[in-house]
Chain A
Amino acid sequence: MTVARFWRDISSRYNLYGTKCAACDRIYFPVRQICPECRRSSIGKMERYKLSGKGKVYSFSVVHDAPPQMSVIRPYAVAIVEMEEGVKVTGQLVDVDLEDIDIGMSVEAVLRKIGDEGPDGVINYGFKFTPRLD
């Protein structure tokens, strides 16, 4: 990923900014330019919207065959998280023992390193999810 491509997504990756359609109140993540339900009537009505970062595990998978950058932490879990706002977001689950992960488990977003472009490259940061005490 180039530096500029990641940089454009910083507000989404650091602070979970998505979009809300002011015509139908649907929330989207990541950012959408147009509401697929309201279509042309959403033009000019798509607003910046910040997710709370809180949600529940909707589904998850444990990755054993990891890409090279992830081999240090293999095996690791990736989850689809249903956010409080109803939108589903995919992210890695951290700071949890794999056997303790359950569907419905409360989680919240934290900032972690997502990867880097080698030892002399830029470091990319973004959200991952950790267990949350209700």
Chain B
Amino acid sequence: MNLKRALLLAMMVLATGFAAPAFASLEIDITRGHLEPTPLAIPSFTGSSEPEREIGRQIAGVIRADLERSGLFKVLDPASYIEHQSNIDLQPRFAEWRVIRADALLAGRVVIENENRVRVDMRLWDVFAETHLFGQQMGTTPENWRRIAHKIADSIYQKLTGESGYFDTRVVFIAESGPKINRTKRLAIMDQDGANPTFLTPGSYTVLTPRFSPTAQQITYLSYSSIVPSVFLFNIETGRQEVLGDFPGMTFAPRFSPDGKKVIMSLVQRGNSEIWMMDLRTRRRTRLTNSPAIDTSPSFSPDGSKIVFNSDRGGSPQLYIMNVDGSALRRITFGKGRYSAPVWSPRGDLIAFTKHFQGKFHIGVMRPDGEGERTLTTAYLDEGPTWSPNGRVLMFTRETRPGAGPHVWSIDLTGANLRRVTTPGDSSDPAWSPLIE
């Protein structure tokens, strides 16, 4: 769970005799919904000793699970594989992979260089074009093998879709337990695939709405650890927690700016919530809204120039956009229903939101001008979307039916591939990290 250790993970492209083609003949257009998943063969990575082969089996397992979960790939059953390569540097017998209808083959090898270092070599082959798509060599400490697997899955995703991946990422969320009238809510963090779950707060006080900094080393969240609930910062590397600013009232709904240097949030004074921005270095704070209405859930555009937020100044909760200095305010939602919890996509092209309409809750997306609204989900309660760093997948909180505990779910931007995310117990308020460096 230590980021510094994780950052030691080195990555370099293999220089080999195989000339990579200028573009892959195997390409996947992920902007379309309900694609036929691309069939891949991913044998366990080879090794010259049993400890190497054991890591090789585990790495292949994580890569398979990552790619399968994306909904874009179908990993063929390893029991159906005909060829069993012993040397991944040699060209595979493509005909034998075509027989089982694999479009691409991932071949990898694990070498334990010493007790502190494992090297992993991999190659991706286009089975039909009979070409070497790319190769990579990575090194890390033995206990860090999962990150190698996620990085390889990201490389494959990027090579075959043309978009950056999202597998080497983490999710911060609220782990929930206990009866509904006396709920325990703890800050927790895990890998994107649910591995390595860790509690960051003890559960003796409630925490809500965590969000990652763009550098992935800090979290901002709402904590009830003192009488007046306040926005806090949590440093993942040191475990240090601090109140953010000495505000004269309850603060909540925090989010980082895209450069990580500011946090925007709501401050309550005399019952009225306004949106404020705090500079993390100078600690100077600026009020951005001035209205007797509710103003909350601010989220920056990825270029840092605009803020989308939730206000009931028009009589019901709706979404508004303003410049970062509070100017050029305008409402963007006019549809039927109550809109809240907007989050700007990291690509900038869409805003995800929660919509309450006719007794149901929905996750939807629309363009920043308010046009092109699409509803992606419907349930008793769906709320609080968060974007994958490539802007292709959303996680959110769902209660499937009245009284059911909340869980984190995910769905593709296309509306396909709805899944429950693996978490230890009930869970809510997910926030996706950026890609780990």
Do chains A and B stick together as partners?
no
Q: Which residues of A contact B (CB under 8 A)?
A: none
B residues adjacent to A (C-beta < 8 A):
none
